[in-house]
Structure 1
Amino acid sequence: MEPIVEERGPVSYAGIVERATLAEWGRVNALVPEVAEWLASHGIAVTGPPLYRYYAGDVGTPIEVEVGWPVAAPLPPSSRVRAGVLPAGRYAVLVHRGHPDQIGTSFAALESWRAETGASWDVVDGRWACRYELYRTDPAVRPDPATWETEICYKLAE
């Protein structure tokens, strides 16, 4: 399990920011359909799979995360859903295959790769410039979590 380095362009998305511990993660997961329903009610099509963008925090502490969907259209004003952009840049990308509860093994593989290669994550004062996951598998189509794929993307420092 080794990441690849990709140059990625900017990606516009609509999302909701939340702070939660892993014990409260059900509240975070509930944002996926909430954002999708808000977009549908405003006639805005999604252009890719749902994403979780991580800003700060770690296991055992509240994690600041934004849950959203990539979009191509501008967003109308909202007090809850906001427009965001995944910034362009070089990313270490790894596809986790299997249950999301086992994603820690893929995070560990990314950290091992970073240590072996001397790469640096784009993090300033404990805040990620961009770290996100794309949930490439639709559970309605493939209900077995052992078959799911999650694309993990960490922005590299320039």
Structure 2
Amino acid sequence: MSRIEMLKQREQPTLTIRTHTKVQDLPQLIGESYGKLGAYLQEMGELMSDIPFVAYHNMDMQNLDVEIGFPVAMPLPGKGEIKPSFIPEGKIVFCMYLGSYAEVGPVYEEMAKWIIDKGLIPGETAYEYYYNDPEFPENQLLTKIIMTVK
């Protein structure tokens, strides 16, 4: 049983790259996108204001609609495929997950059940914040999972 909590989140400015991909191509895409975003922030003399994330706008594993991004302290201009965006204000349900990315499915199921059991309406987007990189042992990967609710 995971510890699931609900919070109210403030709007968070971000810089993101939004694209479609297959789940098997996601790790490489995330790494490349984080590299591009980091280089752009460095070019602008800016820093991330929080942990990198990936927003999942659907769960079609062969055509994922993902937004890979960095939270920033204030709205910043985009450049090319890097766009200014934001994580919207509102209620969220979150859980901290420790373990392999490949085994995160049951946590999503548990969170979805928790949302329904509390009489809430699930939102359309889920976010994963990655506290360490895939170089860590799989059982030590720490991920904050957020599901939006109405």
Structure 2 CA distance for aligned equivalents of residues 139 and 81 of structure 1: 23
- 2:71 counterpart residue number: 70
Alignment of 1:143-154 (within 5 A): 143-154=136-147
Q: Which runs of 4+ in 1 moved over 6 A?
A: none
- 1:4 counterpart residue number: 5
Deviation at 1:139, TM superposition (A): 5.4
Deviation at 1:138, TM superposition (A): 4.7
Contact 1:95 1:151 in 2 (8 A): yes
Alignment of 1:80-95 (within 5 A): 80-95=81-96
Alignment of 1:7-156 (within 5 A): 7-29=8-30, 30-59=32-61, 61-122=62-123, 128=124, 130-138=125-133, 143-156=136-149
- Root-mean-square deviation (CA, aligned residues, Å) is 1.8
Deviations 1:2-23 (A, max 9, x none): 4101111111111100101112
TM-score w.r.t. length of structure 2: 0.88
- 1:20 partner letter: T
Structure 2 CA distance for aligned equivalents of residues 132 and 73 of structure 1: 20
Contact 1:51 1:133 in 2 (8 A): yes
Contact 2:77 2:84 in 1 (8 A): no
Contact 1:14 1:75 in 2 (8 A): yes
Q: 1:65 to 1:2 in 2, by over 3 A?
A: same
Deviations 1:16-73 (A, max 9, x none): 00101112223422212221122112211111111001222423x3010010111114
Q: 1:111 to 1:89 in 2, by over 3 A?
A: same
Deviation at 1:74, TM superposition (A): 3.5
Unaligned runs of 5+ in 1: 123-127
Q: Identity over aligned residues, as a percent?
A: 19
Structure 1 CA distance for aligned equivalents of residues 144 and 85 of structure 2: 19
Q: 1:26 to 1:136 in 2, by over 3 A?
A: closer
